[in-house]
Amino acid sequence: MATLKLTSIPDDKPVKLTIDLPAAVYRDLVAYAEAIGRQSGQAAPDPAKLIAPMIQRFMATDRAFAKVRRSPNQPKPESAARSG
């Protein structure tokens, strides 16, 4: 069996978002959660818990995004701007 890109879901303090997903994307998300469950030998995780790690992995591997983030003209994130 091929190794999935996501293997565990970290427990972190969440920020609540409400999103609408196309039905096909949701079905794939459920199928991915079931695949994780089968691969780990445990119960499938809640599909909603997969969204954040998937987005995080996507952004971490997006070379264009990394280049933009390294740019000196990149504005500070809101959380850093508020705390500073």
E strands, 1-84, are: none
Task: State the pLDDT at residue 78.
Answer: 60
Tens of pLDDT, residues 5-17: 776 767 777 778 8
Q: Give every CB contact of residue 9 below 8 A, 6+ residues apart in sequence.
A: 45, 49, 50, 53
Residue with the bigger pLDDT between 41 and 3: it is: 41
Tens of pLDDT, residues 35-59: 999 999 999 999 999 998 999 999 9
Is the full-model pTM beyond 0.85? no
- Tokens representing 58 are 């996507």
